[in-house]
Structure 1
Amino acid sequence: MRKHYTIKSLAYGLALGFWALALLSCTQENKSNGEGEEIKAADLQYYLDIGIKARENGRYIQALEHLEMGMQYAESSVDRKIYWDLLTNIAYVHRDIGNTQEGRKNFKKALHYADTDAQALITYSKLSSLYSYPKEADSARYYIDKALSLCGSGTTDKNCMLAYNHLAWDYIQRGQYEKGLEVFESRIDIEQLKGDSSSSTEYLGAVCTLGELYLNLEQYDKATSYFTTALTGFEKHNNLSGTLAAKKGLADTYERTGELTESIRELKEIERLTEQRNTLQLQKEVAKLEAEKLLENKDAEIDSLALETQEIEESMDKVRLFSSILGVCVILFLAFFLYNGYKNKIILHRLNESLSLNRLKALQSIMNPHFLFNSFSTLQNFILKKEHIKANEYMTELSSLIREVLSSSDSIFHSFKKEVQILKSYIALEQGRFYGRFEVQYDIDESLFELNPTIPSMIIQPYLENAIIHGFSHTEKEAKLTLSLKKEGKQILCKVIDNGIGRKEAEKLKKGSKASGHLSIATRNTDERLAILNQFNDYKASVNIIDLYNEVGISEGTEVQIILPIS
């Protein structure tokens, strides 16, 4: 893959070099007739407008390309505001695709060109939202305070109220709910923020914050009212992220007030809407990977352009003489490399499509309708038997699993701790479903919790599902499941061991079973996903399945060994 990107970088460098020569020639001619500055200003606004439009339509790489081209034109401009506009919009693109480091870097650059308090306030406020809680809570609070330092003590304007909304959210994350509510009551006029639009993103976001505050202050009627208002506005304007946030708040509120039917209804809606969000998230994930590749080559391209510019300045008299010859050579050179680049782009596109499809399949393997139906049936059974404590525990475990899976859908990888939490929740739900017919033993290396490495999400779960459904469904003996996670050098050795009926007997029984067909598909999709990851990121992972027998050749279960490198 590195060879492909080297060829692409060379092609881009040659193309940009030829473009620079042509631009210099045109610029000299335009300056001679006094039209240079007008064309430059028009180009700046053009690239800014096109970049903003592309971002709004979800074409993130195209947006970055136009905004970065605008930055090149702006290098000799004296208009500081155009710099601020370009940098903040570049930061917005990186924020949208989840590239927080680049988003922060460009917001900080934009601060150097903020000539008004309003520009600085907006930049600080947006910058604070790129820090996560609780790990980066102090950094988030630092930039919130910087934004608020630009607000007066009297009536606040819209930007200041939005900054105070960030402060209220910070208090929520710290568990200081009374302070968060005090901020709203003293600093935010929700009706003034509403203004002429009852469905603006800023206003609805503030309404959601109020709902979260009242939920944690156990004022459930007010929480329900605010979450419902936010949900209506977000649904009206097809704001998927806002709709999910409002529905999550409603589900939590109903759960705490014991309205389990309404809570389950909202959770089912969340499941449906999450499928739509997954498609968007996968597109953003691919865009993020492509943006990172562009950034890797950016410094080399800048150095190359700087060297070419210096050489052009030193030999300006020779440019016109050799420009025609150089142009012909460059065009021929590009024709050769662009052909190879086109083929490489198709290969990369196919890899991205395969990775995206397998990501969706991985989500479906744990959130498939069969599993959810059985889980809700088990919960309903507890409720009908009036086993309220078990029903509450089961509902809590199920909602926790759904939340963790949905929050993990933002990335192909997540932390080791989150993976273990998801696996334990899943096993606990299956134990409840099978009424404790099998016991589970965890053997997890404590050093892995301290290291907390990043691993691919939802790789282990399909093999646990196979062990429980295939291994234990038709056995009469005392069933036992073992999950072992050990650190061995620079890799994790995972073992899923069951004392079930074994693979040969399971193959005989699974014919005609829809659930078994789903499990075979789930493990096959997992194998395909690991193969794609190995190809795409040089990620060396493997799976080995061992049939266990006793000394007389009778099956004693199955052992699955999964090797995951530590990144």
Structure 2
Amino acid sequence: MNIYFKKHLLICVCFINTILGISQVTSVQEDFLLKGKVVDEFTNAPIKNVNIEIKSGDYTTTGIDGSFKLNAKIGDELVIKNSDFKTVYYKVSSRESITVKVQALVASTRLEQGKFRSHEQFIAYLDSARAVMKFSAERSIEYVAKALEGSSGKPPTSLQKAMAFETLGDTYQYWALFDLAIDNYKRSIKNQFSSTRSIKLGAAYSKHNNYQEAIQLYTNLLKNNLTPKQKTLVYEGLGDVETATGKVAQGVGHYREALTIAQAQGFNDKVLDLNSKIGAAFARDGNIQEADSYYGNTLELSKKENPARAAAQKNTVADYYSQNGEFEKEIQLREETINEIENLSDDNAIKDQSSPLTPQRQNYKIANALLGQEKYIEAIPYLEKSIEEADEKADLIVEKDARRKLSEVYADIGEFDKAAEGYKRYTEVFDELYIKKEQELSQATRFAREIAAKQNRIAGLENERSLNESRYKLAFENQTLIEQNNKTQKWIIGSLMLVALLLLYTAYVQYKNVKQQKYANNLLALKSLRTQMNPHFIFNALNSVNSFIATNDERAANAYLSEFSQLMRSVLENSEEDFIPLSKEIELLELYTKLEHFRFKDKFEYSINVDESIAQDDFVIPPMLLQPYVENAVWHGLRYKEEKGKLAISFKKMNAQSVMIIIEDNGIGRIKSAEFKTENQKKQRSQGMGNIKKRIGILNEMYDDRVDVSISDVEADGTGTRVSLVIKKD
């Protein structure tokens, strides 16, 4: 680079920095409250517990409805993370509310909720398989096997098997076991066809060098009704296969078709990848001008991506510059990559020491670029730094290469002592690496055996049903042969079965008769109890008439008898019914309470409140069930009260299926009332309340707990009595 060029470059850089500084001052954005929602791309169902963050900014998580709020500004990049889907990056472009759609790993499972006896367990196993996929292939496969085992002997559905084998295919694809990935993707598609699964199968074919199968599959997929994203992936897959087989022109053509769709649909990640692949294809074909153009696009587009993707793309372009001997451009990109890598120390791509995105590898490649320019002295610090970082991170491969290269550099510049020392250390690292490789080879062999065993187990689960069917068929044929040769035994077995059936039928008929007899006995008992209730009630009513006559109140006696006759008519009409509508029972209760108040006006006031929302004709109740409780409240609670008492009867709706009836008085209470009673009164009351208890018990037994009764004191001192009854519909 000559001085003239350097001066102009410096002027341009200063000018650009000035413009950027002005634009930064004039484009400062104020923070605002950004509202948004995260939903499943397939079902639009909200996703909770998703982490939303802005680097060096606000942080929050989504609620149960998938919504979130956080402080942001125009131009901020949201990072949307959750274990159920791949991390999504979203750039804030306005103050409007946003909806982020993600492809949840288990989205399709919601389509068949409930068809698998332990569906939640099935989903949990597949989630676990995906979660550990990148860390332990064995555990991931084991989780899928457990999902395929089903629950209580019930096999999974076709959709669930398709999902399970797809997860297996993804696992093998990640671990570069492409033959197994192909086999499992085929099983998945066999259970349920999916264009997405077919695209994954095509990628596995391509990586396993089954190029003809991949081309045929991709070509057939283009005949289907694909989404824009799927079309992009299919054209990209065709481009990969054709480029790999040397058909660069055709490959570039398909890459460009994919790029056109990706640009139109705003698939920015694919736009970046496809520019890089087109550049690589042109470079392979020797068309440097076109390659430079597309790699330039790649670098420009990477500026808009997250730092991890930007670093990866810069590394790809730097490799291209290295191949073409453009070492200055390569060094500049690798320096930028190192700076970005330092800010990505927590990224999984950086933690993987086999990744090219590690400081030790980047420094080693910078040293090689300097050596390509014969700048030996400048290369030494980069090699030393590469060695230091590789040693710290136990990256023996890079340390070995860097030490060998450093030894050669010292030899080239004539520092033979350092060269010898460096070579000695290189041989030590080489020996250590050799031992490590032997261990890795042993582990790989064991890993292959374990994977094969687990895959065989899963294949066995799939084939077990066919084997069981064959065994059943063979057993059936054997049984048929035995039956043909032993007809006498067959007749004996048949006779015994017939006798057993007859015994079972006899037992059933007897059980049914006993049940019917018990039902008839219950009806008879209810009728008997009702017969006992009616004379008791009539006797009390006639006593009231007698008291009016005794006091020469003929008018009151006539009025009382008129009301009493109306009540008796209703009582007799319902005397043969087990249940009557609630509305009729309320009428009976109003008539009876009115009669009691007629006699004891100076002893109590009463109120009957019925909730208007109760559909009275929808509920039924045993006739004269409430009257004894009201009678008990008047005769044994309020009648002995010195001051005027109060009787409150209320009907409240608990829910659509039940009504609560409360009979409450502020009388002297049960304990004090017992003290005033004669032995004959106690006996009469015991019989009356006992009859009610028996009626309720029998009715509940016959009709599955329709009536629930509880009696309690109103006040802590024992005064007042509250009777609560709950009746249920149907």
Range of TM-score over shorter length: 0.3 to 0.5
Q: Which protein has the larger Cα radius of gyration, Structure 1 or Structure 2?
A: 2
Q: TM-score, normalising length from structure 2?
A: 0.32
More helix by share: 1
How does the TM-score come out when normalised to structure 1? 0.40
